[in-house]
Structures are given as structure tokens and as C-alpha cells.
Chains A and B, each alone.
Chain A
Amino acid sequence: MNTKAIKVAWWEFSEKVKSKAFILSLIIMPIIIILLGAVPTFLATREDTQPIIVGIIDETNKMYLDLSGRLEQKYKLSNGLPNYILRKIEIRNDLATAFSEANDLLRAGEIEGYFYFSSSVFDSGKVEYRARNVGNIKIQERFSRTIEELIVERRLAKEGLDPSLIGRLTAGINVVSIKVTEEREEETGFLDVFFTGYILIMILVYLILTSGQMLVRSMVEEKSNRLVEVLLSSCSAKDLMAGKILGLSALAVLQVTIWGLVSLAVISKVGFGFNVLLFENLLLSVVYFILGYLFYAAIFVAAGSPVTTEHEAQQITSYLSLLLIFPLVISLVIMQNPNSTLIKILSFIPLITPTLMVLRLNIQLPQTWEIIGTIGVLFVSFLYTIWLAGKIFRVAILSYGKRPSLAELVRWIREE
């Protein structure tokens, strides 16, 4: 590394940091995270503000009273009103008219949905819930739990058992997930773990993509205005490439630092956050982060330097982003079984190593040999790619007009 590379780096950094694109991306990323992470969680756990009216068709004539009493006792709104109000739909003539009456109410929006208890419900345990929106998991979950309680109690009573005794005997099993690490024990929920890894990966993917795009763009620009000739008559291609990667990396570091400081400030003020900043293995994550970033930067140079138009540059970026996002797509599988052989094998594919390992680190610490092995593979891949990229860059940056064929690329790499 010599002073010219640093001058190129400083130029790339100082010019990009002033650009609108950078300032925009500083703001956009947190917004994406909030949208993808916080909003669904917030919406899912949000308290209702008004009582919800649910219809009941009760053939047993027993469930209505029990259920409304129990619901009122269990779920109250913050203003003291009951969260759920049951509206009984009488079976006057036959069941069919009751159903059509209920459906009318449903369509009119007077009830959120309705439950149907058949006369055999205590034996079969089968309850129907009909609604326009059957995706409202909260209502279904709360009702089915309460209904289950009531039915079980009745069954017990029928057998001559005391429900309260049974309740005492069966109570007290409440699984709290506690993640055990070397230093401390910490209560974490599924969401915390998931989002920690998820957000880290999102940041990595985002940084790689934005930097990669800037890298390819600046190469395309210098090519199209032939500035690259002036640059190459002032410094070596190696310095130019190293400077570009270094400058954009510095930009990424600045970006992460700003996000970090801002989120620290927000969390300390609001006291809200899903353990994002409490991830263990910070150091290891950073190693994967940096290696992954550099590896992809080298790929972007290799793939981007033969490109001559903005349009082609965008294509390259979108292909590479698919590879990057792959671990996110299979993240649920990883969550469920982080130690499966398949996941272990996938971890050694350098293109997905960084994102996959960052995700795994936050679920369960992989074995030491895996960590050393994947870091080794990633590092060697990075060295090889940057060597390859250097060769391609040296020739490709001067190729104008037509895109080089694969055969040409291979020849460039072989050429001394």
C-alpha cells in the first residue's frame, strides 16, 4: 500500500461522503430495518383500543355464559372495558337461519367473526371459527385457549374431578428460554435471536450492495470519460483498485459507526430495542463482516470492471445481491436446526459464508473448527479473488465498447 492508493482512497471517500446518495442511504437503511423488523412485531403485539365483538352460535346453551365470563375476567382493555364482547346469535328455527343471520352481521361489520359450538362439542372438542379475516391470530389464539380450558374443566367435572385441584396439580410449567454462554446467562426470546442475526445480515448485505454499486459506478464513469487513462498515467492499476476498495470501505465503516451511535442514543433514551446491541461474539461477527465485505468488494471489481454501461452495472449488482440474500431465504431452516450437515456444508461456500455464519453465531456458537475453517476459506477466497480482480481490472478498465467474452477474460487472467 503506498501513498497513491491512499490518495485515491481519500478521494473516493471524501467525494462520496458528500454525495446525496450517501446521505440518503444513511437514512434509508434504518428505515428498512424498522419496517422489516419492528413494525410487524409492533403490529402483532399491539393492544386493541376498542372492544371487539364476536358472535356465538351455541347449541349447548352452556358455552356462551361461561365463555363471556371467562373472557371478561382474563382480557381487559387499558381503559377497563372488556377486550371482547360476545353477541349471542339465537337458534330460533333451525341452524341454517342462525348461520345466515351471523353471516349478515359479519358482512355488515357488526361482528369480527363468530364461533359455532355444536351440541357434541364436549365430546368432539371441535369448534368452528368463521370470520372474514381468519388471519387474526391473536383472537383465535386467545379464544381457543379459553375455550379449551372451559371444555377440559367440564370434562373433568363430568368425571367427578375437581378442576381447581387439577389446575393446581398441572400448573407451573412455564418454559423461559435462557441462552447459556460462557460468561452469563441471559433470557432471550426467539424474536431477539432472530432479529439480532437478521439485522446484522441486513446491514452487511446493504453495505456490500451500496458499496459494490458505487464501486462499479465509479469504474464505469472513469471508463466512459476516459479519466482512467489519466489515472493510469499517474498511478498503478493496483493502487487505483486498492484505493477504491479502501475508500469505499472507510465509507462503510463511517456508515456503521453513525448507525451504531444513533441507535445507542435512541435505545438509551427510549429504552426500547430487541437486544440488538447485546450480541455475543461481536469480535467474530466483525471478522466475518469485514472479510465478507472485502471478498464481495473484490468480486464487484472483477465483475464490474469489464462493464461499460450503467445498465450492465445494475445487472451485475442484482445478480450478486441474489447470492447475498440466499442465507436470509433459508434463515428459518437455520434457526430450527443450526447444526444440520447441510448448513455446515453451506457455511463453507465463501459466497454465503459471511451472512450464514453471522446468523449462526447469534443462534448457537458453531464449533471451533468450523469457525477457524470458514474464516480460513473466506480469507483464502478473498486473497484469490483480489488477485484475480487485479488482473481483470488492469485490462478490463481499458476495454471500451464491447463487453469482453469469457474466453477473453480467461486470457487476461493467464496473461502476465
Chain B
Amino acid sequence: MLKVAELTKIYDSIIAVDKLSFEVRHGEIFGLLGPNGAGKTTTIRTILNIIKPDSGKITFDGKEFTEDVWNIVGYLPEERGLYRKSTVLNTILYFAGLKGLTSHSAKPLAYYWLERFELLGQENRRIEELSKGNQQKIQIIISILHNPKFLILDEPFAGLDPVNQAVLKDILLELRQKNAGIIFSTHQMEQVEKLCDNICLLNKGKSVLTGSLPEVKRRFGKKSIHLEFEGDGGFLRDYSYVTRADIYQNFAELELTDITMSQKLLSDTKDRLFLKKFEVVEPSLNSIFIQVVSGDEKKSD
């Protein structure tokens, strides 16, 4: 288990991370979310011992960061880049070597992953000859080749086409199966909803929302109703039990005083509109994100 306790990092006078605590268990994908400048990257760098915290403690399976931890963590930074003049295979083997693998044991693994990402045949080309997406795949390979017990990925899906996004998603699920603890930092909420077991939403260095995904959704935001229809839906906002309404041409998202009122809504509207769809939905993580972050914004203003 990766345990972050009371982590604080201060730059000059700005508190980048403020008493942040969370845990990532083996076999779990943990979403570290937050708007730009929330302190995600600082948190990640501190976990990886790249920068030192001002206070707080980080432990890997109970141990503090020591020599052996280097070999069991994998990291994909948000900003990508590799040695442009070096060949694909040499680059992969170099980083595998730094993770404690011998060239002999790393080579078959390198070929395995190159094949998975459909990069076989490119191993002797220089990095600079590869497309951006392919370079990113090499970086992903570098972060997972040594079969890390803890894997930290900063925006891993950004820049990948849908096919490779699917490949990466499968790989992450496999790694979870193999009991890796995965921290996944992103802005893309759809990916989080598909993959994450638990999340931590950061804003201005503070944790503003933590817990398992269903729990967060339950705790946060009411259920809402999605309506698809033909006709003029303007009257929908006039019902006393509708607390919030977003009405578009053929679509409306409504929040009700109580979700049981949905049945009344259905009977009230079925004669006035031609209903194509009526759905009780959980709030999307996206809307929770916006709600929490902008709410936070208002509070501090």
C-alpha cells in the first residue's frame, strides 16, 4: 500500500500541497484529479522522491523511500520526451537497466510490449523518426516494463488515438489484476469513470473530495433526470418539484426535490411532449468536478 500522510509542500509563500492524505492499495486504480495548478504534479513528484516535502510522510508498503523503492515504481510524466537521437530499443533497455533489470531479461519484455503496441519492426529506428503518438507508447512501455508495484501515470491517454487508448486501458486493467497500485492523474473524467476505484479531487493543494467512485457520486450531487423529446419543453422549469433545469432544443437535464418525484414528472409530461427517452441518471464526475471546484472558488472569493 502506498500511504501519503499529511503531505505539505510550500514553494516560497505558496502552499502547493496542504496536509494531503490518501492511500492507494495494491490492485487499485486511484484517480488523482484536480484543475490545473491544483498540486497534482507536485504531489506526484513528492511521492517519487523527486522533490522533498516540507512535512508529511510517504510510505511504500510501510517503508519510506529507499534504494529498493526506485525499482518498484514506474512513472509516466505529463510532459513527454525522449532522447531523440537514440534508438527505440536502446532507450527502453537503458531505462529498464536503471530499474534494475539486466539487458538479458529486459530484451524479451521490450519485444513483448513493442508487439502489444504494434511497434515491432521499429525497435532500431531513432526516436525522432517516430510519430508523437508512437513516442508516447515508448514512454508508456518504459514506465511499465519492469512490472512496477506502484505505477504513476500523468495524463496517459492524452495524445493517443482511440485504438491505442483501448490498448492502454486493457494494460492498466491487467496491471491492476497483477496487484499493482496505480495512480492515475487526469482531466479526462470519462476515463476516470471507466477505470478508477477511488479518487481524490485536489483543489488549491487541498483534498476536497475523496472516496470510492460510487460513494462520491452518492454523496455528491443529486440524481438527475435526462429527457429527450420533441416539442416545446419550456414549461418543464415551472413544476414546483423541479429545482434546477437545463433545457435545450430536444433535451433537458432536470434536478428534482426528491428523486421519487420522477414518477410524477413522467406522468405530467407524457401527454404534453413526445418523449423519446426518460432516464434517471447519476451525476457525471464531470459535473461533480465543476461543481466542487467552482463552489470552492466562490467560497474563497
Contact = CB atoms under 8 A, between A and B. Distances in A.
B98 A398 contact: no
B86 A226 contact: no
A227 interface: yes
A11 interface: yes
A152 interface: no
A233 B81 CA distance: 15
Given A226-B77, A234-B70, A235-B70, A398 B51 contact: yes
B94 A225 contact: no
B98 A235 contact: yes
B70 A230 contact: no
A225 B84 CA distance: 10
B290 interface: no
B49 interface: yes
Contacts of B143: 230
12 contacts: A4-B98, A15-B85, A19-B85, A225-B81, A226-B77, A229-B75, A229-B77, A230-B77, A230-B95, A230-B139, A233-B50, A233-B73
Interface string B201-242: 000000000000000000000000000000000000000000
B97 interface: yes
B98 A15 contact: no
B98 A227 contact: no
A7 B96 CA distance: 10
B50 A15 contact: no
Nearest to A20: B85
Contacts of A15: 83, 85-86, 90
B45 A229 contact: yes
A331 to B, nearest CB: 38
Q: What 5 A-B pairs come out closest when comparing CB atoms?
A: A225-B81, A234-B98, A233-B48, A226-B79, A233-B75
A59 interface: no
Interface centre among B49, B71, B79, B139 (most CB of A within 10 A): B79
Interface string A80-120: 00000000000000000000000000000000000000000
A234 B70 CA distance: 5
A27 interface: no
A310 interface: no
A230 B83 CA distance: 12
Contacts of A254: none
Contacts of B73: 233
A8 B98 contact: yes
B94 A7 contact: yes
B86 A232 contact: no
A231 interface: yes
A285 B49 CA distance: 42
Nearest to A6: B97
A312 interface: no
Interface string A284-310: 000000000000000000000000000
A230 B80 contact: no
Nearest to A231: B98
B2 to A, nearest CB: 14
B99 interface: yes
B51 A230 contact: no
A84 B86 CA distance: 63
Nearest to A415: B52
A7 B86 CA distance: 16
Given A7-B97, A230-B77, A235-B70, A398 B50 contact: yes
A192 interface: no
Interface string B81-116: 111111000100011011100000000000000000
A255 interface: no
A230 B86 contact: no
Interface of B: 45, 48-51, 70-71, 73, 75, 77-86, 90, 94-95, 97-99, 139, 142-143
Contacts of A153: none
A227 B83 contact: yes
Interface string A1-34: 0001001100100110001000000000000000
Contacts of A226: 77-81
Given A226-B81, A227-B81, A233 B86 contact: no
Contacts of A398: 45, 50-51
A224 interface: yes
Given A227-B81, A235-B70, A11 B94 contact: yes
B95 A234 contact: yes
A221 interface: yes
B94 A233 contact: no
Contact of B81 (A7, A224, A234): A224
Nearest to B48: A233
Contacts of A224: 81
Nearest to B142: A230
A11 B90 CA distance: 9
Contacts of A229: 45, 48, 50, 75, 77
Contacts of B49: 232-233
Nearest to A19: B85
B99 A234 contact: yes
Contacts of B83: 15, 221, 225, 227
A253 to B, nearest CB: 21
Nearest to B154: A229
Nearest to A7: B97
Contacts of A8: 98
B6 to A, nearest CB: 20
A213 to B, nearest CB: 16
B50 A232 contact: yes
Nearest to A395: B51
A171 to B, nearest CB: 68
Given A225-B80, A227-B83, A229-B75, 9 more contacts: A7-B97, A15-B83, A15-B86, A225-B81, A226-B77, A229-B50, A233-B48, A233-B49, A235-B98
A67 B221 CA distance: 115
B52 to A, nearest CB: 9
A116 B172 CA distance: 97
A3 B257 CA distance: 65
Contacts of A7: 94, 97-98
B159 to A, nearest CB: 14
Nearest to A8: B98
A227 B91 CA distance: 11
Contacts of B86: 15
